[in-house]
Amino acid sequence: MALTEPTNRTSEADADVAVDAAPAAVATIYVCVTCRKAGEPDSEPRPGALLADATATAAQGSGVAVRRVRCLANCTRGPSVAMRTEGSWTYLFGGLDVGGATALVEGARLLAGAADGIMPWRGRPEPLKRGLIARVPPLDFQEETP
C-alpha cells in the first residue's frame, strides 16, 4: 500500500506531502492543520498548518512522510501530531509549536528503528516527552501475560 503513495511534491499546499516516497516511507507523521494553540485566539495561518509546513521541510531526505490532516480531535491540547510506522505503536503528541518540527522527524526515525515498535524514552526529543498525549498498540498487539 505504501508503495503506491503519491510522490507529488510540486506544492506546499498539497493536502499530502510524501517525502522520499520511493522506497516506502519509514514512518508517517500526521499533522493536524486546523489546530490552534490551546487557549489562544484564532488566527491564520493556524499554528498547526505552520507546524505541518515546518515538519515537511524538516523531513526532506529523511524517509519520513508528512501528512496534513484536518482534525485529530485533540483540540484542547493542540497543536497535535500523530505518528506511526507499519506495525509500530501509534503515538499522539500535543502542545507542540513550530520549533517541534525537527523533534517530530527525529522521533519518527527513532520509532522506525525500534524493533519492538515502541519509541524509546531514552534519546527521545524533549517535546515528545512532555507533549505525549497517548499511544495505541498496533492492530494485532497482544500484551505478554505477566
Which residue in 54, 82, 105, 112 binds a copy of itself (CB under 8 A)?
Answer: 82
**What residue spans of 35-100 are helical by DSSP H?**
47-59
Chain-centroid distance, C-alpha 120:
16
Residue 46 interacts with a copy of itself (CB under 8 A): yes or no: no
Residue 134 interacts with a copy of itself (CB under 8 A): yes or no: yes
Work out the number of other CB atoms within 10 angstroms of the CB of residue 26: 18
Q: How far apart are CA 97 and CA 78, in angstroms?
A: 9
Residue 23 interacts with a copy of itself (CB under 8 A): yes or no: no
Stretch binding a copy of itself (CB under 8 A), from 43-51, 53-61, 63-71, 101-109? 63-71
Residues facing 82 on adjacent strands: 30, 92
Which residue in 19, 66, 72, 105 binds a copy of itself (CB under 8 A)?
Answer: 72
Burial class from Cβ neighbours inside 10 Å (0-12, 13-18, 19+) for residue 29 reads: buried
Stretch binding a copy of itself (CB under 8 A), from 35-43, 53-61, 74-82, 106-114? 74-82
Which residue in 39, 61, 123, 146 binds a copy of itself (CB under 8 A)?
Answer: 146
Residue 80 interacts with a copy of itself (CB under 8 A): yes or no: yes
**Number of residues lying near a copy of itself (CB under 8 A):** 37
Q: How far is the CB of 33 from a copy of itself (least distance, A)?
A: 8
Which residue in 19, 21, 26, 28 binds a copy of itself (CB under 8 A)?
Answer: 28
Taking alpha carbons only, the member of 99, 103, 97, 95 closest to residue 29 is 103
Q: How far is the CB of 73 from a copy of itself (least distance, A)?
A: 5
**What residue spans of 30-140 are helical by DSSP H?**
47-59, 101-112, 127-130
